[in-house]
């Protein structure tokens, strides 16, 4: 990790380095992804199955594309009862949190006028679940549960299979527990294209959510507009804001919890205490030697790991807001007071015992979060992502008659005489 004194130039350099990890920077892959999408759009199933064999060495046909009830039952036999129990407990917490986000339709009436907002759930949603280097049943729960709470009619999941056509058992168990309706055995950009445009065997959806590799991220970017998407996610990141009261062992462990995701992950400590900075650096070095993903962690820390020393808490908070990290831990004497000064963060963890993995797996708030500084204007995945709102307008004749000259005047000021005419014909002989 690079240890630096905090100043405006330091922040600018770090932001420039972090933005190099963005999917928007991988232009060399975009043509490949565009070719895959166009091929799937025009050739449908045939292209999907060809790419699945090419990339995953799996022979998939319409007959074995969809995961069967028997395959799900077999998955339950392969996953320990203890883990199934944990998945179920996490599901309860995630559902409970997202139920608090539910939004109701509303209407108001006065003097012949009714205005309102009608909230309806999306009909069909596609959830992408990775199946490459690692398996993330927690992401299945986080992407599916808010859709279920919102009332989405049908949830389709796509996930890669192995060469024998098998899907990770934990993925299938989590999907079944969360209430996924249909599971397709395909992944990559071809799966995103199939969900966006539909094929003979794969249903076209209204929205696609879920994490994936750079090809999946770029595919989601490319199909946006044909369908809605959650976000174009970049590599994982954590920022810990700490003062002299923080436990250096805890801070070091939390930084490494994100650095192990992949070589592009970012881990940053911002502190007002030089002594803490030194101790955290020492603990990081100690932990790295004993962790299973040492090589990945080392590359992550070498490229995107920082210990930043601020002169005061105001400067530290300004840095936090500039970086706008996916995960932010505040480990200070009064974390709740410091939190009130933070404007930009995906998820905020307060105090020494609110470690970031708590949010990844179990607490309930969604772990699908804005990355690469987009917490400045994006929010975590929520029930809101799976609903849409329609404005409702109803005027009586008497209510419209009172204000129709104002509308006519407004329309005429924009030289839209047909607009004005559609109002006037109701009250004037034209």
Beta carbons within 8 Å of 66's beta carbon, 6+ residues apart = 182, 183, 184, 185, 201
- Is 415 buried (19+), middle (13-18) or exposed (0-12) by CB count in 10 A? exposed
How wide is the angle at C-alpha 223 spanned by C-alphas 222 and 228, nearest 5°?
A: 125
Nearest Cα neighbor of 72 from 201, 186, 154, 166 is 166
Number of neighbours of residue 309 by Cβ within 10 angstroms: 20
**326 among known catalytic residues:** yes
Rg of the chain over CA atoms, in angstroms?
25
The Cα 367–Cα 45 span in angstroms is 32
Q: What is the DSSP string of 265-298?
A: -EEEEEES-HHHHHHHHHHHHHHHTTSTTHHHHH
Q: What is the DSSP string of 343-361?
A: ---SEEEESTT--HHHHHH
Q: Are 216 and 18 in contact (CB under 8 A)?
A: no
**98 among known catalytic residues:** no
Phi, psi dihedral angles at 197 (to 5 degrees):
-110, -20
Q: Are 211 and 191 in contact (CB under 8 A)?
A: no
Describe the strand order of the beta sheet including 305-309 as a list of residue ranges: 2-5, 305-309, 266-271, 237-242, 327-331, 347-350
Torsion sign across C-alpha atoms 389, 394, 399, 401 = positive
Q: Are 49 and 261 in contact (CB under 8 A)?
A: no
Catalytic residue among 98, 261, 327, 367, which? Answer: 327
Catalytic residue among 283, 326, 329, 356, which? Answer: 326
The Cα 375–Cα 364 span in angstroms is 19
The Cα 196–Cα 176 span in angstroms is 23
Q: Which residues are the active-site residues?
A: 326-327
């Amino acid at each position: 990790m690079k240890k630096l004194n905090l100043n405006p130039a330091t922040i600018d350099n770090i932001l420039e380095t972090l933005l190099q990890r963005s999917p928007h920077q991988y232009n060399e892959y975009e043509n490949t992804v565009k070719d895959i999408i166009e091929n799937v759009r025009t050739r449908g199933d045939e292209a999907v199955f060809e790419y699945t064999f090419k990339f995953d060495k799996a022979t998939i046909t319409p007959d074995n594309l969809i995961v069967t009830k028997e395959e799900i039952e077999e998955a339950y036999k392969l996953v320990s009862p203890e883990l199934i129990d944990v998945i179920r407990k996490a599901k309860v917490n995630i559902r409970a949190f997202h139920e608090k986000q539910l939004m109701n339709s509303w209407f108001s009436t006065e003097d012949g006028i009714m205005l309102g907002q009608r909230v309806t759930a999306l009909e069909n949603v596609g959830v992408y679940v990775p199946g490459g280097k690692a398996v993330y049943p927690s992401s299945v729960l986080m992407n599916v549960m808010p859709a279920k709470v919102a009332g989405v009619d049908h949830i389709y999941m796509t996930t890669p299979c192995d060469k024998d056509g098998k899907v990770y058992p934990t993925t299938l168990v989590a999907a079944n527990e969360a209430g996924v309706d249909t599971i397709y055995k395909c992944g990559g950009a071809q799966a995103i294209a199939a969900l966006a445009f539909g094929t003979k065997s794969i249903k076209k959806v209204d929205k696609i959510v879920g994490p994936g590799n750079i090809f999946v991220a770029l595919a989601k970017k490319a199909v946006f507009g044909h369908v809605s998407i959650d976000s174009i996610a970049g590599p994982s990141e954590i920022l810990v804001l700490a003062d002299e009261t923080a436990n250096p062992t805890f801070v070091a462990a939390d930084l490494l919890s994100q650095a192990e995701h992949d070589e592009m992950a970012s881990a940053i400590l911002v502190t007002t205490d030089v002594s803490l900075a030194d101790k955290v650096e020492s603990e990081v070095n100690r932990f790295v030697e004993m962790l299973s993903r040492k090589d990945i962690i080392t590359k992550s820390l070498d490229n995107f790991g920082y210990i930043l020393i601020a002169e005061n808490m105001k400067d530290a908070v300004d840095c936090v807001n500039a970086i706008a990290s996916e995960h932010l831990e505040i480990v200070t004497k009064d974390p709740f007071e410091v939190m009130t000064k933070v404007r930009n963060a995906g998820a905020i963890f307060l105090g020494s015992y609110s470690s970031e993995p708590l949010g990844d797996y179990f607490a309930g708030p969604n772990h699908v979060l804005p990355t690469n500084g987009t917490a400045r204007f994006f929010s975590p995945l929520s029930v809101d992502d799976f609903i849409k709102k329609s404005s409702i307008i109803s005027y009586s004749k008497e209510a419209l008659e009172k204000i129709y000259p104002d509308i006519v005047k407004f329309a005429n000021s924009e030289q839209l005489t047909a607009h004005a005419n559609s109002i006037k014909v109701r009250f004037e002989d034209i």
